[in-house]
Structure 1
């Protein structure tokens, strides 16, 4: 029997036990995982270093190396995420609706686990723990399929978590890592309807589209982040500069980093903004007007407006008004995170009503599109679709509902 099928069967069995556990039992298991990650920190970092070395040998970009890198600080942030998940309310069993029909039937809608979740993701070892902790808290077993570039890290993390679960109420089989990272096995996973209840892809556009186009298992789609900031004519100088700098440079390799800044042509501080970006090591690619005015701005091509750089590169463009900015976002955006910096409430209202994206910001950095920042603890991903869940997905997003009907002998005539 193949690795995929063996592990899928284990997950299906474990999910039945997991779904019946109490909140306290699940929290106890998560606490053991957090402790084990700390105890095995040095070994985990050693295994991660193997992936980093191989990645550099194989010519991975600095952005991918950054995503792949685990440090002591980042590992402790991962552990903190597990602790945050422990403190969150358990959605399982929550009564979302309750009513009584004229015939006396009492109906409740309650939250229940999805069952077995398949996570497909790229070189982000933190996703291994984030996804596992969220899935377990919401009563779901999880099949993790990371990329080959993070295999040593993922194997170490899953081994530590499984060992921790052997001393807990949650079956160790509730977390499985698909170590075969071949495309053939991935395609088999995408069609494992008898064992997987949903697939969640998390990564670049090609990965997400591969899952969507090849899966027969239902897909909870996440999206790439070609995020924009529109600086309105009324925007405060320092606020706008601080927001753009944070959105671009705080961590350029993540999906909520800004990739294009649209500047109202009458905003008086364009030079200060562009010079500050340039001085912070950001390569600027702009429209003809900006290229003509600033020697350090390179000519943008059509592809620059639609590119998720994940690097210290930024597209910049002058626009006449909020409507032109919205038109540009509609054409090139990925429905992830979009921001307006403005003191004009009418323009803010137009922006919020008209822009189609999972998260919209007024006078704030796009970097807040994150499960932890939204108060969800860790996140399973950021959904840019419109069905079931949208935006940063926490515990509630990985549950579904069922109806309980209480009668006293009613029959339908």
Structure 2
């Protein structure tokens, strides 16, 4: 077993998957003396949010209505936090977005109420009052569930804590996660004949402990990591461009909470195992190499998958809170995106089920999809590393996209971590941005 919590010289360490592989998305380094293919600047399209454009095409609605619905996602994180406090730990069942109508759903535990209808009415009144404070009362619904979010999180943590150990020497790794919309904890398992004794013991114990809360399903992918050669930009430095020698993608710009120094995010596995002081660089469209700076700190393992690179030439790079959004074709029902090289980021946020997000990667370009799982634990089979606290979404990811930004409605949501390499190429994993900020003691730079 390899457990990755690597501390680099400049900072201290901060402290699942079935029959198809999951992989972190990083690539072989591009040799510094080998010219990269020139990337021409395309004509910029209209400043339309890619997530809104994707939703408009999927739903057959106007862009203004799609933009309004995507904006709900930005405001819903604080609504959920207030609803959780108002309803209490044992009643709040989590938040998600309607898969068909995009409305905000607040789950509540209805079992045990002396009068179910009265309890439901009380909950609805409480949630309405909270939602009204965010101007979201007309688009927020209450939904009865069997299990509280606190119970889902506790069960997911219990499973996640054990997956690294039981996946040792296993032919196929397992995968853990939870879904608020289904009110279940999920455990992806290989076929019975492919399970080790330790894996089967975990399945049996999880069934005994969690009963109807547990959703066991066949897992036919292997997680693998994601990073290659594609877009380069002139200053300002921004998220979504290729960085080497890791062959990964640059994430959001960020500033230290302690001394205001400028950094740039990428995936932890893009930095892991590289010599201390390794300098990361990118290119301008004319193929000239330009240094960004050395890796400062990283996490790759049970705490997550994130790293920061010091930006040493702030004046020259003119760094800004921008994302390089590429034109893209439709993907599995999600509409394509318009070229927008200066897409601004003005906030960060947490993830919820069925919310729509987009990613930019240095190889796979831009792709949009829905969040399909939370609290994901996977074992990256190509690295032999178990990573926890990831999100899962159905945008497409290519090798070379690791570290790239996950965003919607000018809000930062995460960093590309990996993908499934099996029969479902658009099953992708990401590190939540707020977790990355807290792990590495930085805040995303906003426009």
Whichever of the two has the greater Rg, that structure is 1
Q: TM-score, normalised by structure 1?
A: 0.26
Higher helix fraction: Structure 1 or Structure 2? 1
Higher strand fraction: Structure 1 or Structure 2? 2
Q: TM-score, normalised by structure 2?
A: 0.25
